[in-house]
Structure 1
Amino acid sequence: DFLTVGAAHPLQIAIASALELPPSFYVELLGDYQERRDATVSGLEECGFEVVAPDGAYYVMAGIKSFGYEDDVAFARHLIEKAAVATVPASSFYHDPAFGRGYVRFSFPKKLETIERGLSALRSLPRS
């Protein structure tokens, strides 16, 4: 047998504990994530990104063409340098990197204050 990935023992213990939490915990957690998702999606749209709201992921793929960039890696660097906002070039998620060149990935499992601070920095970026 060959195993390349396995769940670490401490993670297994944490999952076992999580399974004992009441359903209300997960209802509240879902609401928290929906609030963060909606804030991220609407904020990114206000900033000029083309966004499709995810149904289950904790990240958003955002189109970057309105900023005059076609290269996701260059744009991700630009965001770090000009807005101090970290994102992930979408090309790193595709077998053929060309499929992701026009997108970057923003994640939103953060405090709402952190999301708003990042969006505030992004609002100052010029668009093409």
Structure 2
Amino acid sequence: MADRTITINGLSKTYSVTGWRVGYILATPELTGAIRKVHDFLTVGAPAPLQRAGVAAMQLPPSYYQELARLYHDKRNSILQILDQVGIPYFVPQGAYYIFADISKFGYKTDIEFTNYLIKEIGIAVVPGSSFFNQPENGNSFIRFCFSKKSETLQTASKKLLKLQSNLKPTF
């Protein structure tokens, strides 16, 4: 079985280095030869500093990642509590550091309008939900929050989000 197995993984999620897009493949030399040819035609190699940082990330002890997971869990729960207070329904993330929230009850025609309101009036930047749909109109009632921020940033964002309670008049 080993001669037919290809293991593909990336550092982005497992080692918390999202955005770097550094990955790896483990396979027999016969299989990796073809994979390297395809890779060579599709992309250039990852920058050497990112590769070195990836090696360093892989060598950190499990306790580092356990603490990181706990930290993200606490940050997630903190933001979820604020969304509960404000009355914004959401989907509880099980592994990412994004929260997909339903804004349909706030009466905006599109997620873009609501996103612009949040930026201009509340001082919070979110990603419009329509960006994640093949047919963007299907995402008009969603926004995405990111909670992989500094604690101070999340505290400030939480205070600003609480302004939604007085600034918005939800339509039920």
TM-score, length-scaled by structure 2: 0.69
CA distance in 2, matches of 1:46, 1:5: 47
1:79 pairs with 2:128: no
CA-based RMSD = 1.6
Structure of greater Rg = 2
1:127 pairs with 2:166: no
Residue 100 of structure 2 contacts residue 145 of structure 2 at CA under 8 Å; is this kept in 1? yes
Deviations 1:59-109 (A, max 9, x none): 101111232224101110000011110001010111111221101111001
Higher RCO (Cα < 8 Å, 6 or more apart) = 1
Corresponding residue for residue 14 of structure 1: 53
CA distance in 2, matches of 1:12, 1:127: 50
Q: How many residues align?
A: 128
Structure 1 residues 73 and 56: CA distance shift in structure 2, 3 A: same
The equivalent position to 2:149 in structure 1, one of 82, 90, 110, is: 110
Residue ranges of structure 1 left out of the alignment (5+ in a row):
none
1:46 pairs with 2:85: yes
Structure 1 residues 80 and 97: CA distance shift in structure 2, 3 A: same
Residue 41 of structure 1 contacts residue 52 of structure 1 at CA under 8 Å; is this kept in 2? no
Residue ranges of structure 2 left out of the alignment (5+ in a row):
1-37
Residue 64 of structure 1 contacts residue 70 of structure 1 at CA under 8 Å; is this kept in 2? no
Measure how far apart 1:34 and its partner are.
0.3
CA distance in 1, matches of 2:87, 2:46: 39
CA distance in 1, matches of 2:146, 2:97: 6
TM-score, length-scaled by structure 1: 0.91
Corresponding residue for residue 69 of structure 2: 30
